[in-house]
Structure 1
Amino acid sequence: MLDTTRSEAATSPEGDEHEPRGCLFALSQPPLMIFLAVIGSLFLMAALHDLLLL
């Protein structure tokens, strides 16, 4: 027969698997930081081009 009772590990409040994560966790991911760095450098190059060459 299938045992459907919960174990103590599943009911303990210390299980951090589904802890809600905020914006700072999302910003700390390397692919997102690389993407933001590339976009920021493109904006910087466009601003310098406008200021110095036009």
Structure 2
Amino acid sequence: MAHFTGEQHAPETPMRPEPAAHPVPVPVPDPGAPEARGCLFALSQPPLILFLTVIGTLLLIAGVHDRFWL
């Protein structure tokens, strides 16, 4: 879809970077190295899940109380 910018012509030079003369090699990970663990690993821990369950239950009880008994 074309956009109207007020200009009649396209710019003289393209706004693209020049390609590299020599491609940079991509490092290959060491197969013997331990894998990095992201933030989702922490969610699999039982104490955190228990804590989030307790907080969620308290919020649910408070919401039901406010909705139906106030």
- Please state which band the TM-score falls in when normalised by the shorter chain: 0.5 to 0.7
Q: Which runs of 5+ in 2 are unaligned?
A: 1-29
Distance in 2 (CA, whole Å) between partners of 1:47 and 1:25 is: 30
| TM-score of the aligned structures, taking structure 1 as reference length | 0.66
Number of positions where the alignment pairs a residue of Structure 1 with one of Structure 2: 41
Task: Supply the RMSD in Å over aligned alpha carbons.
Answer: 1.4
- Structure with higher RCO (Cα < 8 A, 6+ apart): 1
| Structure richer in helix, relative to its length | 1
> Runs in 1 of length 4+ with deviation above 2 angstroms?
none
- Taking the TM superposition and a 5 Å limit, the aligned residue runs for 1:1-54 are 13-16=31-34, 19-54=35-70
Deviation at 1:21, TM superposition (A): 1.2
| TM-score of the aligned structures, taking structure 2 as reference length | 0.52
